[in-house]
Amino acid sequence: MVLVYNIYIFDRHCQCIFYTEWNRVNSPLAADAEANRSSKELVRGNQVLTGDGASSRSSLDGQRPPVWPTTSSSTARRISAESSQNTAMEEEAKLVYGVVYSTRNIINKFNGKDSPQGGNPGGFMSFATNTYRLHYYEAPTGVKFVLNTDVNTTSMQPVLEMIYRNIYVEYVVKNPLFTIDPTASTPIENDYFRAVLNNYIREISSAAMPTA
């Protein structure tokens, strides 16, 4: 069984523009989880359902995991210390990026090359501790994906590439309502992206379970 803990997405400015989790204990987002679940919007297919009629229809992702970062208003879209709703989460994202950045640089020096190889410069793909395995994927555009799973999980490179090409590109990059500012970081506040990603992770977790 594949046990996925969480995922971080970092942009070219080294900022975490999206985070969500599935099987994590002692999360910095625990205090915000109930507020996220209280949203009245239900997503189904390519429609956003609101109002009383939505309660009788099945949601695209009935169980919504907490996400971060979010902005306090639709106009304040740039990531900043003021717009961050969880300082502990912000510090954790910086720490994760620092670990990944340092590890990638060390591997690059050992390999003596820093050119893209299948999406990952230098060839850094994962490392494991005694409690979890960190999987890393860097897209040609500079967007970085960090996925944490249980320590026994094998390579998740195909999964991360799928998330980038078929979910991130389709629901974020191609979204006409999402404008990428090359000079600033913008959090991903896209319900379709979040819902499809959530369903995909649950799907691969279920598919990996042994059948009776």
Which residue reads 């850094």 in tokens?
Answer: 124
Q: Tell me: the pLDDT tens digits for 68-119?
A: 887 643 344 445 544 445 688 889 999 999 999 999 888 888 876 554 444 5
pLDDT on residue 165: 95
- Which residues lie closer than 8 Å to 13 by C-beta, 6 or more apart? 184, 185
Coil, strand, or helix at residue 28?
coil
Retrieve residue 84's tokens. Answer: 């961050």
Handedness of CA 103, 108, 114, 116 (dihedral sign): negative
8 A C-beta contact, residue 188 and residue 167? no
Q: Which fold has domain 4-207?
A: Beta-Lactamase (3.30.450)
Q: How far apart are CA 203 and CA 195, in angstroms?
A: 12
Q: Which tens digits make up the pLDDT trace of 140-194?
A: 888 999 999 999 998 999 999 999 999 999 999 998 887 777 778 889 988 999 9
CA gap 25, 175 in Å, rounded:
33
Q: Write down the domain spans for the chain.
A: 4-207
Q: For residue 27, name the pLDDT band (cuts at 50, 70, 90).
A: confident
Query: In terms of DSSP H, where are the helices of 60-190?
Result: 87-111, 157-162
Q: Residue 165: in which H helix or E strand, if any?
A: none
| Cβ contact 54:42 at 8 Å | yes
Mean pLDDT of 118-143: 85
Are the beta carbons of 126 and 103 closer than 8 angstroms? Answer: no
Residue 44: is its pLDDT beyond 80? no
The confidence score (pLDDT) of residue 25 equals 75
From 51-55, 62-66, 144-148, the region with the lowest mean pLDDT: 51-55
